[in-house]
Structure 1
Amino acid sequence: MLSICKTKVYRLCRLGFRNKVLAFVVCVTVVVLLLASKLGRSSGSFRQSRDFFADKHITSDGIFPLPRRQAFRNEQKKNSVLPLRFFKHKPGVSAHNFDWITNPRQLCLPPLGHQTNIHKHEVYLLVTIASAVWEFERRELIRKTWASVAKPHGKTIKYVFFLGNSGKSEHFVAVKNEFKMYGDIVMENFAETYKNLTLKTQGQLKWATYFCPNARFVMHVDDDVFADVGGVVDYLIKQEHQRILRCAKVFKPTVRREGKWTMSKKDYPRSQYPLACVGWCFVVSQDVVNDLYYMSLDTFLIHLEDVTFTGILRERIGDLQLAKMPNGETLCQHKGWPKDEPTNKKLEDAWLELQAKNTP
């Protein structure tokens, strides 16, 4: 880098300075500042030093201080399909204040005595799995199959299941026992319903912000999806210096006024939703996790979670572009539809197929 200053950059710098020593000092300073700026933006502005936890206060409520909240201009673009109501700033209109019934708060922390060696214990990818509280067999199957991939390319992967509360005592007791056995379940005290998937996704983002700020990337996936985690990591390695929102599949849906995805005109008065990720699988860098979570707190949320987080909130943030991952529908295979065979069987078959493919 110094040799560059002595040649090309020095020739540019010296034009404004008669003193060669001063020109060289200014030149080196500029280069250092540019490098620092680049590092600050790398991995989606995600930067970890060896003492990541040294200035952190680890509590049962989270790892503090929390990631910094960015300031956004909150301006609607001329070609935006979003109704104006989503750009009206209402602090705390969608606050996420549900109790943690189970919470693996230690999951992303390095072992005791190793807090200063973050590079050795970095969480490269946090996989947050949206699961229904009663899907005990499916979670067991996922743990034994695609979520058993722990260190692809030497990268540490962590898996967490996210549940709501069915209100049934037998489910409550069974999940408590499951959590004691595996320690990988976040259960929050909101009703386990389809329309609360938005709350579940918001809870995933909150948990990653509060309890896993050292994750480089975070992946949202539904429990009826087969995820090729090794393939996703292969892709992410090439994206490490970017701020990303990547989807298995991209769509721009039309608003429906009846059926499963019905939306009232009061909640969404226009006829078109913004471009978004289909909700079964998407990956974001850590800074995008924080931005989406913080923005969600001050935004009216509709019950379509994919449109909400990767469409509406993405547009509100303003500088966030989404894109489809190459082979996204192979990396994340939706097995919940069609209903020609049991979903669990299709998940297991996909795992066996991947194992056969990867066996020499």
Structure 2
Amino acid sequence: MRMELSREGSVVFLILCACGAINLVFYVTVSDPQIRGRRFIQWIGKDFVENTFIIAKDKLKYPPASRAAFSNNTKRATYVSMFQHDFFLNSLRRLKDVKSTEWEERTKQNSFQFNYILNEPFMCKTNSSVHLMIVVCSGVENLEARFAIRNTWGSYILDKNVTSRLVFLLGKGNNSFLQPQIQKESQLYGDIVQGDFHDSYRNLSLKSVFMLHWIKNFCSNSIFVLKTDDDVFVNLPNLLETLSSRSKGDRYILGYVFDNAQPDQNPNSKWYTPSEDFPEKFYPRYCSGTAYSFTSNITNDLLAASMETKLFWLEDIYITGLCARKARVRHVHNKEFWFGRRKSTGCEYRNGISGHKVTVKYMYKIFAELTNNNLTCVDGHN
């Protein structure tokens, strides 16, 4: 079968072949791939490359970012295209800017493009504002943890006197057979928001940018937001009481605040961060990512800051540190947002707000003890 190209297609094809030939010369003469890429872009010129690929996109008709959803439920299956930037072109811009002395200036603009696989666009549609929007970042496979949260500390949202909402934020898992289960879970509970990106530990920063985008577009009438994980127990009454004591109209992130923390230089560490990934001596002030709350009026500013701040894989440092610094958002320390493991007892959580590394079994245990009117504690602990 013979394929014929239009005149424009032929021109694009020839230009791409020429670029490939030039790149081959650089491949032979320069061994380092990063240096090779930079020299190629510097030699050929950014404008030429950008215009070439803009023509290619136009004439060869790449498929659009927004696609029809696979579910018949249009409420939940609303593929929404997020930031329509081209990853390749922005990568070229970053290569062109590598000579900048400021680390954060290396990336002038991030290229975030998300689609919603599952959505709850009407979650916050109410006649009044939503006092607290709870966003639980959950792993695709952690169905039992989500069930436990709904039946324990998350059940407080069912109180008619509390105007709060709960949503679980997911990405795409490695096992496609889980997706039908996620769809059924979404249809049953109506609290799943799933993005079209790979759900992994290294993508948690991306997931939190996705959270900001969802709040901006679908829950802008919220007053406060709680971001937490599915292995965290939250004492919601204590959190709501703490938030009610804050001044209205204020702008802040509330949580366990770290000052002057240094990047982990141990190659064997889970949090190993080489200096080329983060060359500053200290991380900016930030809150533990296990649980933190913020006023919704900073959502747009954090989202805008993420567009101009080099993506860093440690979510809490990226969102509550780097982006918050750029957005000029202040931090409020509260030690009751404990970032570590607490004793798995009701007494331990009676005066606290959150605790980390809580299994499904202990979610139920802690909640049962906290809601037991006969619970007796000595100095606040068992």
Partners of 1:313 and 1:287 lie apart in 2 by 15
Partners of 1:183 and 1:201 lie apart in 2 by 20
Partners of 2:370 and 2:257 lie apart in 1 by 20
1:261 pairs with 2:261: no
Larger radius of gyration: 2
Aligned residue pairs, count: 264
What percentage of aligned pairs have identical amino acids?
28
Aligned with 1:354 (options 370, 376, 381)? 370
- For structure 2, the 5+ residue unaligned runs are 1-77, 81-100, 339-351, 377-382
- TM-score, normalising length: structure 2: 0.65
Taking a change above 3 Å as real, the CA distance of residues 326 and 267 of structure 1, as seen in their structure-2 partners, is closer
Retained in 2: the 8 A contact 1:252–1:276? no
Aligned with 1:239 (options 241, 246, 249)? 246
Q: CA deviation at 1:215?
A: 0.4
1:286 pairs with 2:293: no
Q: Could you say what secondary structure the match of 1:287 adopts? A: helix
Retained in 1: the 8 A contact 2:292–2:337? no
Taking a change above 3 Å as real, the CA distance of residues 226 and 305 of structure 1, as seen in their structure-2 partners, is same
- TM-score, normalising length: structure 1: 0.68
Partners of 1:249 and 1:310 lie apart in 2 by 9
Taking a change above 3 Å as real, the CA distance of residues 245 and 152 of structure 1, as seen in their structure-2 partners, is farther
Partners of 1:358 and 1:316 lie apart in 2 by 48
1:332 pairs with 2:354: yes
Retained in 2: the 8 A contact 1:160–1:185? yes
Report what 1:143 is aligned to: 150
Partners of 2:287 and 2:330 lie apart in 1 by 11
Aligned amino acid, residue 347 of structure 1 = M
1:189 pairs with 2:211: no
Q: Could you say what secondary structure the match of 1:260 adopts? A: coil
Retained in 1: the 8 A contact 2:255–2:288? yes
Aligned amino acid, residue 333 of structure 1 = G
Q: Which has the higher contact order (CA 8 A, sep 6+)?
A: 1
Partners of 1:107 and 1:236 lie apart in 2 by 21
Taking a change above 3 Å as real, the CA distance of residues 178 and 264 of structure 1, as seen in their structure-2 partners, is same
Aligned amino acid, residue 84 of structure 1 = E
Report what 2:119 is aligned to: 103
1:84 pairs with 2:98: no
Partners of 1:183 and 1:358 lie apart in 2 by 34
Q: CA deviation at 1:213?
A: 0.3
1:299 pairs with 2:304: no
Q: Could you say what secondary structure the match of 2:372 adopts? A: helix
Residue range with higher mean Cα deviation, 98-107 or 345-354: 345-354
- For structure 1, the 5+ residue unaligned runs are 1-59, 63-82, 111-117, 337-342
Q: Could you say what secondary structure the match of 1:356 adopts? A: coil
Report what 1:155 is aligned to: 162
Report what 2:231 is aligned to: 224
Q: CA deviation at 1:356?
A: 1.9
Q: Could you say what secondary structure the match of 2:157 adopts? A: coil
Root mean square deviation, CA, Å: 2.4
Retained in 2: the 8 A contact 1:335–1:347? no
1:214 pairs with 2:206: no
